[in-house]
Structure formats: structure tokens, C-alpha cells
Amino acid sequence: MSSQRLKRLSKAWQDWGTADPLYAILSSPEYWQNKGDINRFLATGRETVSDLMQRVDELNLCTERRRALDFGCGIGRLTHALAPIFDQVVGLDIATSMVERARSIHSSVTNCYFEVEVGEDLGRFPDAYFDCVISLLVLQHLGSEDAIAGYLHEFLRILRPGGALIVQLPTTVSVAPPPPPLMTRRGMKRIFGYFLRGLGVSPARLHSRLDWSPEMTMTAISAERTKREIESKGGRIAFTSAPETDSGGTVSWVYIVTR
């Protein structure tokens, strides 16, 4: 990924984390413009982790439970749910706003550590460091298949043999609706929003007053390429979920991978 692209991605997520983090994470209308119940939101993370770890147990993977990584942790929806299962859980995110929120919400969870990570690899971690790596709803936003592949390689490098990598990836993404025509009220609001953001107006203000939203890109990767990239680094797909289709038409799969 070019450094310019990375900067743009980081800025967009920084804005989402300031303006409307719960909606940005689950994209469900119930959370739009900071509505919805945070406890219910966090409960979705516990349900997801519980289902996935049950599957990991059935596969007899990740039998040691020392360290887990939640890559693209957002406000810690999944991270806090891993805390009772592992000795130590690290949540990494590109957006400082997300990490700060995660730290404040989960301040009483003493074995969760939240850090900002703006880079293209996970060089801060040695090989075979984590028993489990989880990354849900993240790689789809990286902007290119090669960037996704790069992170799959890194996840496998830092995964202990016999550990579990749990990763969600879409094979089809919804086509974003075209922006509203400029000479309409919505079109003008959108352009005006970007203009004001460029002048430094807070994203939260623009989001609530003008319905302006930061950028959110989606990238798909075929199941064949995913398998090829995983196998090229000595990984093995132990489980593939049934496909899940969201309201916009994005079709996703969760893979449990070991090496």
C-alpha cells in the first residue's frame, strides 16, 4: 500500500472513530449517529468470540492460551471478549480515536492492551508470538488484494504452530451507490462537508449536522487467492464458515487457519 493510501485510510478511520464509531464498526442502522446501546454492541462481540472459540476447540487448535491479537480492534468489541480466555490480549488499530475509546471502555479489563498501529506489517512482534490472531471486518477495508495478502502473510508469521488465525474476508462486496448529483441538496451537503473537513471542522459535527460521512472502501478477495496466500506461508485452512451476506450484498466468509 502506498504511504499516501495508508495516510488516507488512517485519517478516514480516525474520523469514523471520532464521529460515529459503533456505526462504523457494525454498519447497522441501529447505531447510526451514535445511537444504540453500547452494552448490546459489546454483547455481539462476546457472542461472536464464543461461537468461534467453540469451533477452535472442536478443531483442537490453540490449546495454549497465553497471547491473542485482535487486529483492527476498533473499540475492543472482540478484544474484551477474548480477555477471559487468554492471559494477555493485544488490540491494535490504525485509528487513535478508536484506541482511546477502547482504553476508556475497557479500563477495568487488566489483561487487554490497546495500541495504535499505522504500518504495513507487524514487525513489532517476533515470529510465532501469538496463540491466536483474530481479525474480523478489517482486511476488507485495506483497499487492495495485495495489501490483504500482505497481512495474511504477517498473521501467519506471528502465529504459533498449532495456533488459530481467525479471519473474515469478503469474496463479493456491495457496489457503493454513486454519490448524489452535485446540484442536489444532498450532493451540495456532501461536497460542503468535505470542504469544511478540509478546513478542520470536526468530523463529529459534520456527521451530525450535515450527515457527512468519512470514506469507507471495500475490497473483495477470491477464496482461491485467499487459500493460495495462506498456503504459500505454510498455513492450512481448517474451517470455512457458511457465507454471510449483509444488507448491502457483501458476501463474507470466516476462515480458521492454522500452521
**Binding residues for ligand SAM (CB under 6 A):** 9, 13, 25, 72-74, 77-78, 92-95, 98, 117, 136-138, 141-142
DSSP-derived letter for residue 179 is: P
Q: Which is nearer to ligand SAM, 51 or 64 (CB)?
A: 51
Q: Which residues pair with 112 in a beta bridge?
A: 89
Considering beta carbons, is residue 78 or 83 the nearer one to ligand SAM? 78
User: From the CB of 204, what's the least distance to ligand SAM, in Å?
Assistant: 16
The nearer residue to ligand SAM, 9 or 221, going by C-beta atoms, is 9
Question: CA 68, CA 88: separation in Å to the nearest integer?
Answer: 6
* Least distance to ligand SAM, CB of residue 125, Å: 14
Q: What is the CA radius of gyration of the chain?
A: 18
Distance CA 161, CA 177 (A): 43
Task: Write out the E strands in 96-248.
Answer: 112-116, 130-135, 159-172, 236-240, 244-245
Closest distance to ligand SAM from the beta carbon of 255 (Å): 15
CB 94, min distance to ligand SAM, A: 4
Q: What secondary structure does DSSP assign to 203-221, as a single string? A: HHHHHHHH-----------
- Closer by beta carbon to ligand SAM, 138 or else 221: 138
